[in-house]
Amino acid sequence: AFYRDLYPAPGSLVTGEQLQGKELSYNNIADADAAWECVKSFDTPACVIVKHANPCGVALGKDAFTAYQKAFQTDPTSAFGGIIAFNCEVDHVAAEAVGKQFVEVLMAPSFSAKAQEVLKGKPNVRVLHIPMPVPTGNCAWDRGHNMVDVKRIGSGLLMQTADNHELQLSDLKVVTQTQPTAEQLQDLLFAWKVAKYVKSNAIVFCANGQTRGVGAGQMSRLDSARIASIKAEHAGLSLQGTVVASDAFFPFRDGLDVVVDAGATCVIQPGGSMRDQEVIDAANERGVAMVFSGVRHFRH
């Protein structure tokens, strides 16, 4: 069963309507929520592809089609049978592109008339129309985010304040001799936002508003870094000159060395490790820029 809050946050998944397709399953709903929460956090046209509750491709673009192309390019294999979310109108060009792959759920704030005609040819695709939140205040709820995270555990409920901090450029602390460029700073904010929705341990390579490799849900941050670089290699994407987001601090320099060896030249991480200075020294030794966010994500 799928229950909704008496007073749902504006623009949340439960405020949408299903336009076509089979009934949503338990996993469909959970994955759709992960995709929608991620995509609606961007202010420019964006596409998010989710598989098993983790983003496998996220990108910004001038329109839905461009954003989809870039997101799909990150990990075409994992995108098969995925959940796709847009924060902008889906036109017939984007709908036709999406229709070429196997999709479980497709969601957007609007679909053009031509796009709806295209999607009717894919009757099994679950198509959801969800309005984007219209901010009416400064609190997270007004921006469409839940204020509390709730998780069911054995005979109880686990609750905590939701991870709703919106990182700004002014929050970043450069800790290395090398300074990030203006372009890198924008990609750092993008990568950090994506990392929020990737299960920990999360490592996200990005460049030009596009994920290039995502390492998710590993018990070792080192393994997540390796997997992210392997994913990029399999997708034929270069990691040279990319930025990297780590959802929690690097406890040792080895994780930093892995991402730099892969091609990253700029890193964002929370900081706060007992060995922060060791990692900072390693970044200076390797000639890369690194910034501390001062907050961590740690999605579970």
> What CATH number is attached to the domain comprising 52?
3.40.140.20
Residues 200 and 284 in one domain: yes
pLDDT > 90? residue 296: no
Residues 193 and 107 in one domain: no
Residues 125 and 178 in one domain: no
Could you tell me if residue 258 is inside a domain? yes
Same domain? For 121 and 176 the reply is: no
Q: 109 and 48 in one domain? A: yes
Residue range of the domain that includes 259: 169-292
* Percent of the chain's residues with pLDDT above 90: 78
- Both 193 and 283 in one domain: the answer is yes
- Give the bridge partners for 289, in sequence order: 266
Confidence of residue 81 (pLDDT cuts 50, 70, 90): very high
Domain boundary among 112, 129, 146: 129
| pTM > 0.75 | yes
Domain's final residue, options 104, 129, 154? 129
pLDDT of residue 145: 75
Q: How many domains does the chain have?
A: 2
One domain for residues 61 and 115: yes
Q: Rounded CA gap, 21 and 28, in Å?
A: 12
In a domain, 148, yes or no: no
Q: Same structural domain for residues 175 and 125?
A: no
Are the CB atoms for 192 and 245 separated by under 8 Å?
yes
What Å distances lie between residue 200 and 30, 74, 94, CA to CA? 17, 19, 31
128-148: per-residue pLDDT in tens?
A: 999 998 877 666 766 777 778
Per residue, what are the HEC states of 41-58? CCCCCEEEEEECCEEEEE
User: Per-residue pLDDT tens for 228-269?
Assistant: 999 999 999 999 999 999 988 888 899 999 999 999 999 999
Model pLDDT for residues 17-54, shown as the tens digit of each residue: 999 999 999 999 999 999 999 999 999 999 999 999 99
**Is 154 part of a structural domain of the chain?**
no
Report how far apart the first and last C-alpha atoms of the chain are (Å, whole number): 22
Residue 216 lies in a domain: yes
Instruction: Tell whether 107 and 174 lie within a shared domain.
Output: no
238 and 180 in a common domain = yes
- Residue 88 shares a structural domain with residue 185: no
Inside any domain, residue 3: no
Alpha-carbon distance of 265 to 188, in angstroms, equals 11
- The tokens for 112 are 């053009």
The answer to whether residue 227 is domain-embedded is yes
pLDDT tens digits for 198-214?
Answer: 988 999 999 999 999 99
Domain boundary among 75, 102, 129: 129
Q: What is the pLDDT of residues 83-120, one digit of tens each?
A: 999 999 999 999 999 999 999 999 999 999 999 999 99
